[in-house]
A = this chain, B = another copy of it.
Amino acid sequence: MNVRVKRREFLNLLAAFGGTGAALNAGAALNLLPAASHAQTLDLRSPDPSKKQVVILGGGLSGLTVAYELTKRGYDCTVLEASHRCGGRVLTVRHGDLIDEIGNPQYCSFDDEPHMYFNAGAARIPSSHKNILGYCKELGVDLEVFINENKSAYVQDDKMLSGNRIRNIEFTTNMRGFMAELMAKALTHEELNQPFSDAEAEALLSSIRAFGDLKENDLYEGSFRAGYKSGGFLKHGVQKDMIAFRDLLKSRLGRQLLSANEGDTGPILMQPVGGMDKIISGFLNHVGERVKYRAIVNSVEVLDSGVKIVYDHDGARQSFDADYCFNCIPTHLMVGITNNFPDDYKKAMKYVRRGDAYKAAFQAKSRFWEDQEIYGGISWSNSPSRQIWYPSHGIHKSKGIVLAAYDYGGGIYHTQMSQSDRIEAHLSDAEKIHPDFRDNVEKPITVAWHRMNHMLGCSARWQRSFSTGWTHDEEKLYETLRAPVNNRHFFIGDQISMHSAWQESAVMSAQWSLTKLDAYVRQDLA
C-alpha cells in the first residue's frame, strides 16, 4: 500500500461521509421482521406404485437425507455406498476406527470412552443452519454448545514478540484499544468530525471508549480486559502489561483475530453430544437396512424410463434399474465413471475442483489446557499447523482429544508428508504454544482429505477466484449441474450449492432436488 496514494482518496471519502455517501444515512427501507427461519417442510407426494424404485449413489449426508425422506413417503430406496461406512465428510473418529487414507491407513487407538472422539470433517453446526438443526430435532440427536472463540486461548506468531505466545484476549484487547485511540483521535480532528452533530459525536465517542476501554483522556493505556497480572479478587487487580501496537502489527494474524467469528461461525455453534456422526446414526436408525456398503459404481446410464446403474459388490458385477437416481458421488470422481450424461453436464462436472483440507488430532493424557484456564476454543498460530482446538465437551474429565492441526487453505503441504513427518511437524508447532505438548499427548490421527479413499478431496470449489465472485460462466455451469437430467437423475450434496463444506448445504441440496422430483411426480400423476 502506498500511503500517498491513499492520501488522495481522503477528500473523496470525507465528501462521502459528509452527506452524500451511503454509510451515515443508509438503510431507509429496513425490513426489520426476520426471515422465516423454520426448517423447510417438505410436502412430498407418495409415488406411483409402479415408479418407486430409487437408487442413491453415496451414503453421505445428502444421500441419507433423500433416503430418509423418500422412504417415509413409500419409495423403495437403495443406497450404494463405496466405502465401509456412511457419512462421507461427516467423520467422527473413535477407538478402533479405520482412517481409510490411500497409502496411509490408520487405526484409531483413542481410549474407548464416549467423550474421546475426533470430528475430522464437519465439526460445527451454526444456529442459523435451520435445516440440519431441524433434522437433529426430528431424529432426536442431542446437541450441546460448541466453543469456537475463546479469548483465553493463545496467539503465537514467530514474527511477533520473539515468537512468544500471548493470550488471544491480550492481542485483541490491546489491538482494540489502539484502534479506539485512533478513532477517538480522528473524531477530535475537526475535518473528520464535520458530519457529526455534537450529540452524535458524543454517542460515537462513548461507544469507541467502551470498545477500546479508553481512559478519560481518550488514550489507550492498557486494560483489565486483557487479564490480571495479579490480584483482582481480594486485593486490587494489577493490569497485565500493555503490548506495543508496533509489536502486534508485526503479526498478520490480526486480520484473522479481528474477524474470526463472523459469517457461519458468527452465531452460536453446536455439536451433537458424542460426535457429529450421531446425525448419520440418526438417519441410519430409519434407513440403515437400505444401505449396501462397498458397492462401487461402475456406470450410470440415464434412460427415458429411469436410470440403470452398474456396480461392483462382493467381487461381482451387478446392475440395478431404478426409476430415479440421486447422486452424491463427488463430481471429480464421477467424471471417471462411465455415464451418458449430456455434454454440458459433463463439462460442469469437470469444472468443479476440490479443496484439500487437512486435520490432525492427538489423545491428551491430561486436559492440561484447563489448568491454563482454557475450556474449548482455538489457539491461533502462523505455523503450518495453524490451529489448536480444545474440546468443548468432557470438561474436567481426565483426558480429551485435542486437534493439533487444521490446514484449511493449502492442506496439501501436510498431505504430501509421511505420517511420522506430519506428527513431528504438529508436535513442534504445538510446542511453541504449549511447551510441554509433546509429553502430554499420544495416539495421533491425521486426516488428509485429499487422499481419503472414495473421496480424494474435501469440499467442492466452484470458483476459480474468490476475490472476483462467481463468474457468469460459473453460474451457468452450476445451474446446469443442479438441474435434473431427464427428470431421472439428480446431483446432490454440498457440492451442488454455492456454500460448500457445510452440512446445511448438503441437506438443502437434497431437499431442493426432492421438490424437483415431487413437481415431476405430481405432473406425471396428474
Q: Which residues of A contact B (CB under 8 A)?
A: 1-3, 6-7, 9-10, 13-14, 16-17, 21-32, 34-35, 37-38, 127-128, 130, 133, 136-137, 142-145, 147, 150-152, 161, 164-167, 169, 173-175, 177-179, 181-193, 196, 198, 200-211, 213, 217-222, 224-225, 227-237, 241-247, 249-250, 252, 254-256, 258-259, 262-263, 266-268, 270, 371-377, 392, 395-396, 470, 482, 496-499, 502, 504-505, 508-509, 512
Cα distance A431–B464 in the bound complex, in angstroms = 48
The one of B127, B211, B244, B249 in contact with A259, judged by C-beta atoms closer than 8 angstroms, is B211
Q: Given the complex, which residues of B lie within 8 Å of A266, measured CB to CB?
A: 151, 169, 225
Q: Given the complex, which residues of B lie within 8 Å of A186, measured CB to CB?
A: 182-183, 185-186, 189, 192
Cα distance A421–B237 in the bound complex, in angstroms = 41
A219 touches B185 (CB 8 A): no
Q: Given the complex, which residues of B lie within 8 Å of A252, measured CB to CB?
A: 203, 206
Cα distance A231–B478 in the bound complex, in angstroms = 15
The one of B27, B32, B143 in contact with A395, judged by C-beta atoms closer than 8 angstroms, is B143
Task: Report the minimal beta-carbon distance from A336 to chain B, rounded to whole angstroms.
Answer: 26
A27 touches B189 (CB 8 A): no
Cα distance A241–B30 in the bound complex, in angstroms = 6
Task: Report the minimal beta-carbon distance from A37 to chain B, rounded to whole angstroms.
Answer: 5
Q: Given the complex, which residues of B lie within 8 Å of A509, measured CB to CB?
A: 234
Cα distance A209–B185 in the bound complex, in angstroms = 18
Closest 4 CB pairs of A and B: A186-B186, A207-B254, A145-B145, A210-B259
Known A23-B177, A23-B219, A267-B375; further 14 A-B contacts with Cβ < 8 A? A23-B244, A24-B178, A30-B243, A31-B241, A34-B372, A142-B396, A147-B268, A152-B268, A169-B266, A185-B186, A206-B252, A210-B255, A234-B512, A236-B498
Cα distance A26–B198 in the bound complex, in angstroms = 33
A145 touches B143 (CB 8 A): no
Q: Given the complex, which residues of B lie within 8 Å of A200, measured CB to CB?
A: 246, 249
B3 touches A267 (CB 8 A): no
Cα distance A217–B23 in the bound complex, in angstroms = 13
Task: Report the minimal beta-carbon distance from A147 to chain B, rounded to whole angstroms.
Answer: 6
Q: Given the complex, which residues of B lie within 8 Å of A204, measured CB to CB?
A: 249
Cα distance A201–B101 in the bound complex, in angstroms = 45
Known contacts A246-B25, A268-B376: does B255 contact A38 (CB below 8 Å)?
Answer: no
